[in-house]
Amino acid sequence: MLRILMVLILLAPCFALAELVDNEREVQERLDAIESLDKPLYSPFIERYMLDELKQLRTDMATQRNELIQQIVDRELSSVDRGVTYATNTVTYFFYLIAGASTILVLLGWTSLRDIKERVQSMADKKVSKLVHEYEERLAIVEQQLNKEAQLIEKIGEDIERTQDVQSLWLRAGQASSLANKIAIYDQILKLRPEDCEALTYKADAVLDMGEPQWAVNLCQQALKSDPENGHAFYQLACAYTALNQYEEAVNCLSEALERTEDYRDKFADDPALEALKDFEPFIELLPSEDNTH
């Protein structure tokens, strides 16, 4: 393949030289043919015909140019004429307008320019006063809306800050080791949110562990007033009634808790606070099927 390529490269100048020789030979043959002519290529009649056609073409072009110039001049004259007519009509109508306005002013009783000025000024003052009053009302409405938005933003900021404080207190309550510390933290949460149902129920759980079942009952009832559908409050209330030996009320509260969620059913058998209900028949019916059979 390389050998063929080298041969083609060497033969390329030979091909170009041969083509150049052929072109020179063709040019020379044409020159010899022209020199060997015995008569002209065109006859005088044909030459005359071509000159006449060229002359007619130049004449037609000159005629067309003159016609075009004439059309342009006519259009310019027509534009000037329309402009002059428009200006004349405008001036005429303006004077008609002045005459009509003067007639109307005389009919309305405006006898002087001072009277016209005073009336126009009075009308303008009334219009401006009306606009000012409208904008004052609009500004008052906008100001009220801005005040409401500012109060809402301030309230939202307070709620966010209160929520952060409550979350911090919940973390502290989860880390507290003694029941007294937990109760103190729950009191701080209730101080920030007096109707916090979760804080009330967890405080009830803590005071129940301290041996204060009646206090726990009061806290659970307060939580249920805030959220009657809170299952955890019913569950803690059942534990408190169990400690007070009020087994029927305890079972009723457990039933209410189960109506909110079935997750509490698995806690009944293992919760020490419900140990006293293990032999109570209505409580046994609430247990899961496997525990109930045993």
Q: Which domain covers residue 268, as residue numbers?
A: 194-293
Instruction: Evaluate whether residue 210 is within a structural domain.
Output: yes
Instruction: Evaluate whether residue 239 is within a structural domain.
Output: yes
Inter-residue contact 266 to 282 (CB < 8 Å)? no
3-state secondary structure of 157: helix
Inter-residue contact 238 to 254 (CB < 8 Å)? yes
Instruction: Evaluate whether residue 100 is within a structural domain.
Output: no
Instruction: Evaluate whether residue 138 is within a structural domain.
Output: no
Instruction: Evaluate whether residue 247 is within a structural domain.
Output: yes
Instruction: Evaluate whether residue 282 is within a structural domain.
Output: yes
Taken as a whole, the chain contains a residue count of 294
Q: How far, in Å, CA of 273 to CA of 267, rounded? A: 10
Q: Could you tell me which residues come within 8 angstroms of residue 259 by beta carbon, excluding any fewer than 6 positions away?
A: 231
Instruction: Evaluate whether residue 29 is within a structural domain.
Output: no
> Structural domain tally of the chain?
1
Per-residue pLDDT of the chain (294 residues; tens, 9 = 90+): 555 555 556 555 555 556 666 667 776 776 666 666 565 555 666 667 777 788 888 888 888 888 888 888 888 888 777 877 888 888 888 777 877 777 776 666 555 566 667 777 888 888 888 888 888 888 888 888 888 888 888 777 777 777 777 777 777 777 777 878 887 887 888 888 878 788 888 888 888 888 888 888 888 888 888 888 888 888 888 888 888 888 888 888 888 888 887 777 777 767 787 777 777 777 777 776 555 544
Instruction: Evaluate whether residue 222 is within a structural domain.
Output: yes
Q: What is the CATH number of the domain that holds 248?
A: 1.25.40.10
Can you give the pTM of this predicted structure?
A: 0.46
Indicate the helix (H) or strand (E) that contains 4: helix 2-35
